[in-house]
Structure 1
Amino acid sequence: MSTVGSLVLGHVIEEVLDPFTPATPLRITYNNRLLLAGVELKPSAVANKPRVDVGGNDLRVFYTLVLVDPDAPSPSNPSLREYLHWMVIDIPGTTGASFGQELVVYERPEPRIGIHRMVFVLFQQLGKGTVFAPEVRHNFNCRSFAHQYNLDTVAATYFNCQREAGSGGRRFGPRTS
């Protein structure tokens, strides 16, 4: 299944992002293990920030990476949606997050209730120095953020995370209006 298909299946497209066409390769690895869309990772596996490689073919094109939790503090009551766990701006194309500027320090995901989707979104910026940090981490909104700074969504992926002793999978039923 394609990454976009996984984002649709996991309701990331709809709840966090509008439909988009992937335009830039995004490779994320935690502890030298490639992140595949929709995989489940425990908090111990994501304790340290991942290595993030951004594709593209031009060092003069800059990107912003965010990691959000649309299920905070719990999937049944996401009142802090979308909780911002990490933000790196000014990442030059063909490099990685380590070449950008970390505006919001990585905060390890530690869900206490239920299974949380942890969503990485890569935005293309208009230019270097055109994106700024929000005042708070809670109730971040990827759509509003993109609109505010004229950002284009060029890649996204997600993983599921639940407390260390948790078990079971995320279930999506039919949507009710």
Structure 2
Amino acid sequence: MARMSHPLIVGGVIGDVLDSFSPTVLMTITYNNNKQVSNGHELYPSSVTTKPKVEIPGGDMRSFFTLHAYLDPYRLLLEITHLSFYRIVTDIPGTTDATFGNEVISYEIPKPYIGIHRFVFVLFKQKRRQSVIPPSSRDHFNTKKFAEDNELGLPVAAVYFNAQRETAARRR
């Protein structure tokens, strides 16, 4: 991950919210319209209204993962003043998808009203099953603190997309 041209660095995910890490697990995020999330691509809010399928192929079922999906609404201001998370799923067995985990914070539909919003999915490997304590609030969430408090260490995978409000003219 040392190359400066990596999409997570260019998009500000590494640096703004996550420390530098080397992905060790493959994670695929697909919305019901068969649109796979790719780093830095733009998706229309109307295409992400349902909970995405989050797959963790490979590995082994004795490993457990935590998925944290969050929104960075003030990316245009180039400062992270407020993060809201949109979903947290714990105890996801390796080789499966998030439906096999424990959804402790349910999916909330992203609603970008002003500017470009960055939606980030971060996957952490848990040290043991049933060891993650969910946060008490969606607002002012700190990913690094959440990982530290739950002994999750650095992420093992991350992917993000951008979205902005769809205007009537843009939808045509």
Aligned match of 2:26: 25
Deviating 4+ runs (over 2 angstroms): 74-79
The TM-score with structure 2 as length reference comes to: 0.89
Matched-pair identity in %: 44
Q: Secondary structure at the match of 1:8?
A: helix
Aligned match of 1:149: 150
Aligned match of 1:173: none
Aligned match of 1:91: 92
Query: CA-to-partner distance for each residue in 1:35-66, whole Å, 9 max, x for gaps?
Result: 11111011111100101101342101100001
- The amino acid that maps onto 1:137 is R
Aligned match of 1:136: 137
Alignment counterpart, residue 38 of structure 2, candidates 36, 39, 47:
36
The TM-score with structure 1 as length reference comes to: 0.86
**8 Å CA contact retained: 1:118, 1:159:** yes
Query: CA-to-partner distance for each residue in 1:90-124, whole Å, 9 max, x for gaps?
Result: 00000000000100010011011100110000000
Q: How many residues align?
A: 164
**8 Å CA contact retained: 2:73, 2:112:** no
User: Structure 1's 38 and 167: CA in aligned 2 closer, same or farther, altered over 3 A?
Assistant: farther
* Structure 1, unaligned runs of 5 or more: 169-177
* Structure 2, unaligned runs of 5 or more: none
- Distance (whole Å) between structure 1 residues aligned to residue 158 and residue 169 of structure 2: 25
**8 Å CA contact retained: 1:68, 1:86:** yes
**8 Å CA contact retained: 1:16, 1:70:** no
